[in-house]
Amino acid sequence: MLDHGALDHTNSDSTQALRHRMRHSAAHVMADAVLRLFPEAKMGIGPPTQDGFYYDFDVSRPFTPEDLESIEALMRETIAAQQTFKREEISRNDAQSMFSDQPYKLEIIEDLPDETTLSIYRHGEFIDLCQGPHVDGTADIQAVKLLNIAGAYWRGDEKRPMLQRIYGTAWESQEALDDYLHRLEEAERRDHRTLGRQLGLFSIHEEIGPGLIVWHPKGGIVRSLVEDYWREIHFRHDYNIVYSPHIGRAQLWQTSGHLSHYRESMYAPLEVDEQEYFLKPMNCPFHIMVYRSSLRSYRELPLRIAELGTVYRYERSGVLHGLMRVRGFTQDDAHIFCLPEQVEGEVGGVLDLTFELLDAFGFAEFSISLSTRPESYAGELDMWEHATESLRRALEERHLTYDIDEGGGAFYGPKIDIKIEDALGREWQCTTVQFDFNLPERFDLNFMDADGGRSRPYMVHRAILGSLERFLGVLIEHYAGAFPLWLAPTQAMVIPIADRHQEYADSVKEQLESEGYRVEVDGRSERMNLKIRNAQLQKIPYMLVVGDREQEDGAVAVRTREGGNLGAISVRELLERLAGELT
């Protein structure tokens, strides 16, 4: 068993806390600069983020790139002036008077509970409503850069005013800032939306609707390969693969609790035979119906039910983002119904399956958290303790390093979350193993126990890849579109040098296809170097050039997408090379 420990980040908690304060302070310095250049500006909010900060403004005209340069220049002046950040607590009346010309600040003040202690932060002549924390002074902001401008609805509500958001970043040194800017450039180069267009993988159309993905033939190949491997490995781990409808009657979602607790993320009902039906936001109730379709015996458990089920959830238009945040997606979903004494083994089996599956896609670095019982919870305390300890033991038996998220579990059960790290060191939430003590009660699930009585099964929700759309987006960016050979939509491009080599090129294609490889021939009347360049831009692993000599020798001249020239080899040698790369 591989020891998939938590990632050993170079940044300590203290460094992260310092960056948080520094970026929060940089947001204030930026707002100060904006008000000096645009005295009529109305301020929204300006929090720090994981890698930087932003501030929202309501101004009379759109910001320009030249404005960003001017704002950044003023920020540098303020930083050089070494102004001190000072915190003061004020009354609600004083706050309302102080920000009488700032309507968004007044709204924040009005919405705060009466018992809230209000505070402001000053540096120089600038004042902002803020709880902090901040660095001691502007001199502590070592390296700063404004990045871009975007629109943002006030408080994320599309019915509220559209503000202009300025994004920036701040670091403890110029070297750290330069490294971050380099990573930003690399992330832009790997952007799955751009690569999706360039490689012909997928598209999104206003005529169809935002957040709804259309997979093109090449993207369809990649997705099919991912799904086929998913099915193969699940069959091997004794899962039962099922299919369920895209809609269900309102009564189903009422029983499951979705209409009570998840309604804002569900679409408007459809009327069928004068009854309400809803597009499914989750697959759980359908899998429960499979379980309930017959009286279950303890001998039948564990019962593992899995599905690549497409679900539909309402997401605000402002948060939609390529494949990463969509409105219709296919969930890598499974539910395990088991006896209490089987829980630990089942959780361990999910972890083993997780690492086997993720390793196959090239992800080897993980961080893991165990979320425990919140203050408000469903189910019995002893069930929570048993489930939590089962999760803990399954992790520790596999020598897995994990963090504890005290009280971070859902109200219906504890869980394990696993994040994967991509080639740029970014973390993505991927796998979740979640107990559910709520749905078995709601649907009155039971099984016939060894004594002939009725007992309640344990139910475990489990997703490994999560949303297939999101996972494929991560996969595209992880590989920068240059998929490993087994996932590449086209594995080899045969390039005839002249028209007289076309027939031989076709025969090479047939030989490779007979062995199961995905091959194309570029028979266009273009220069060979242009054909090679086009194949490289399409990130095809191998280019097989054929001319008079190759045709005479039954060979191919092999080039790689990285620019390597492997020279001429026989087709048999090529097949051996490809087979070795796939093992």
Positions marked catalytic: 284, 313, 331, 333, 335, 415, 461
Q: What is the 3-state secondary structure (H, E, C) of 65-92?
A: HHHHHHHHHHHHHHHHCCCECEEEEECH
* Nearest Cα residue to 215 out of 461, 400, 407, 472: 472
Tokens of 37: 């250049």
Q: How far apart are the C-alpha atoms of 228 and 283, rounded to whole Å?
A: 20
Q: What angle do CA 54, 56, 60 make, to 5 degrees?
A: 140
Integer angstrom CA distances of residue 487 from 208, 234, 423, 494, 540: 28, 19, 17, 18, 11
Integer angstrom CA distances of residue 261 from 253, 282, 333: 10, 13, 20
Name residue, tokens 């009529």: 40
Tokens of 212: 């709804």
- Sorted by sequence, the CB contacts under 8 Å of residue 560 that are 6+ apart come out as 541, 542, 543, 566
202 within 8 A of 214, measured Cβ to Cβ: yes
Integer angstrom CA distances of residue 93 from 105, 114, 198, 314: 13, 12, 57, 40
Q: How far apart are the C-alpha atoms of 102 and 84, rounded to whole Å?
A: 24
Task: Report the largest interatomic distance among the alpha carbons of the chain, rounded to a whole angstrom.
Answer: 92
Q: How far apart are the C-alpha atoms of 431 and 369, rounded to whole Å?
A: 11
128 within 8 A of 121, measured Cβ to Cβ: yes
259 within 8 A of 250, measured Cβ to Cβ: yes
* Nearest Cα residue to 394 out of 436, 347, 458: 347
